[in-house]
A = this chain, B = another copy of it.
Amino acid sequence: MALIVQKYGGTSVGDLEKIRAVARRVIRTQDQGNQMVVVLSAMAGRTDGLIQMAHEIAREPDARELDVLMSTGEQVSVALFSMAVGDMGRRARSLLGFQVGIHTNDLYGKAKIQDIETDRIRRELEKGRIVAVAGFQGLDRKGDITTLGRGGSDTTAVALAAALDADVCEIFTDVEGVYTTDPDICPKARKMDRISYEEMLEMASLGAKILEIRSVEFAMKFNVPIHVRSTFTEEKGTMVVPETNDMERVVVSGVAYSKNEARVTVKKVPDRPGIAARIFEPVFESGIVVDMIVQNTSEKGLTDLTFTVPKPDFLKTMKLVSEVAEQISAESVLGDEDIAKVSIIGVGMRTHAGVARRMFQALASENINIMMISTSEIKVSCVIEEKYTELAVRVLHETFGLDKDPRDET
């Protein structure tokens, strides 16, 4: 008997009929002889409705109370799902974050899971029940409700799969799997059968919008196989698994992009030791995730420091950094929201040279100017003007022959 953790996102449980469809699918999988733990998101639209109320009633809604409010969305989903299962003659039991024992730190709105208890879930499973766990939510040490941030239900699912030593964590979504790039902007995009954790991590962090990045980190750390698949078909999707040797035969596996970042430049910063730390301290303290950081060579003891942050944090970042800039006598702070990041990803880069050069040439051939560059072992990212995003993705997809990836043919 296998233990399967399934996660259904907001569109998969978007209305009562869809919740019933999910219930039928879960029962079908249970009938194949599996123990079932199901993680649900809030019904599509419900989270936005709650956020809107919060912002109508308070200019800056208290972060702790926002989590109390938001966590009701998933609570509604698991209760309705369990009723639907009951109506079909089976037994399901909903469990909220505090009932499972999903312990997190107290960073409201973007809390991190620290520990998950499994006793209660196992007891319910042993009674033959389907266990429906509210995604996205946990409890901090004080006993207060926390949420994991957007997409947090993926993390709940993978963390549960790790804690329960599940055989697989199936992430159900409205797409059929992980594609070589976004099919909406590149018709030649192709569904991959397999992708390594490392590659998925880069894809996720670069905005592939399929899996929340922390969920992939969790999966990699605890070796949880993830199956990304569609709620609306029975087709197999994409397996996210440990890297294997044959994966390296392909240089580039996918092209990702993100329009969700903004660029901040601090001009003419006095180049003293500790100055970067000084600039980033208030930003880090606010829990804002800085992505790329580029520091130019110092000239006359002055340097320019450029970095990117998520767009929703842009205004706050500008405010924080401007304050520091004044204190340290930097010349000015510039901001730009009209940027995009395009990236090529592949574990094969480790063993193939000249990949970055081919990327730069491809972009140059379309007259796309590169504003920032950042590389890692398995990816190269370029920040460009936002308006060129789609063009850049298509030309890179073509350049690296992703419409005919040989990996799947072996």
- Taking Cβ atoms with an 8 Å cutoff, the residues of A that contact B are 16, 19-20, 50, 53-54, 56-62, 64-66, 68-69, 71-72, 75-76, 78-80, 82-84, 86-87, 92-94, 96, 98-99, 120, 143-145
CA distance A80 to B56 in the complex (A): 10
Instruction: Indicate if the CB atoms of B83 and A62 lie closer than 8 Å.
Output: yes
Between A and B, 30 residue pairs with Cβ closer than 8 Å are A16-B56, A16-B57, A19-B57, A20-B57, A50-B76, A54-B79, A54-B80, A57-B84, A57-B87, A58-B83, A58-B84, A61-B86, A62-B83, A65-B82, A65-B83, A65-B86, A65-B94, A66-B83, A68-B75, A68-B78, A68-B79, A68-B82, A68-B96, A69-B75, A69-B80, A69-B83, A71-B75, A72-B75, A75-B75, A99-B144
CB distance from A137 to the nearest CB of B (A): 12
CB distance from A44 to the nearest CB of B (A): 15
Residues from chain B with a CB closer than 8 A to the CB of A71 are 75
Residues from chain B with a CB closer than 8 A to the CB of A66 are 79, 83
Residues from chain B with a CB closer than 8 A to the CB of A92 are 65
Residues from chain B with a CB closer than 8 A to the CB of A59 are 87
Known: A20-B57, A94-B68, A99-B144. A62 touches B86 (CB 8 A): yes
Residues from chain B with a CB closer than 8 A to the CB of A65 are 79-80, 82-83, 86, 92, 94
Instruction: Indicate if the CB atoms of A61 and B76 lie closer than 8 Å.
Output: no
CA distance A296 to B238 in the complex (A): 74
Query: Which 3 residue pairs spanning A and B have beta carbons closest together?
Result: A58-B87, A69-B79, A72-B72
